[in-house]
Structure 1
């Protein structure tokens, strides 16, 4: 009788723990969804170009950890230079926040913990549609935009080359790839 009672108590304790863990997982999932939710007004399907350069080298956003992190704005391999936009009023800051980057007017910190900040030797520069801006984090990404994020000590000619590289990119996307009909 005592053994049966202990088994029943053990089963109840295990069930309470399982229910507690499940409730905690649901709560954390709801919090993470609302934490990064952008102010969406209308669903859209648009594309913008992006080039992220560090010391003259392209930062690879094709890594799986950067792919389709958010429904509202994302990258889809192999198009790491194309931002896919599915809601209006979605900002560059929101995009990078979903990738676990930190972004402001002076610094960008990437997922491995490395920060690239403006100092006496290097500068962080943002360009939207060929125009330099102080901070890109609050910029609402729109169809056809071209966004350059460049960190280093590049000359004006090197920056102009990066802008040209970005502008030469086709930001339209092969629909067969998106539908999973790759050759």
Structure 2
């Protein structure tokens, strides 16, 4: 039986290489559905057709209308990658003002496996809201891959997209 993974990507540089994450997830047996934050959707809108072809599913970025059917199958797990400071702090506080946030806030209550792979620079990581938010999310059962074994914040303007640890995120998902 195929496992469904929602890959939720936020507007951070690794979103520009989200096809890498999709292919890696597919290679280990996941049927991937891509969900974008509104800003990530704006960044990637010229590639949406290619992502639909790659995944076999429409790319979602906004809530459906009440009378519309779901176009994606229900997820077995959710990976938020890249996860931004904005998404992590809003998620921890229970905000659901975008489809991406609505899915992950609800997934906590549904007890779905949740993995977050941040992409932050050291200045963003120094904000006190990040530590509080990561603690809250971890207490809720979210695997936040920040620090050793996950993503280590970089000097501002010196991120290395090729070093983004997609494999660590996929290894953290259930078998």
Fold shared, TM-score > 0.5 on shorter chain:
no
Q: TM-score range by the shorter chain?
A: under 0.3
Larger radius of gyration: 1
The structure carrying a bigger strand percent of its residues is 1
**What TM-score do the two structures reach when normalised by structure 1?**
0.27
**What TM-score do the two structures reach when normalised by structure 2?**
0.28
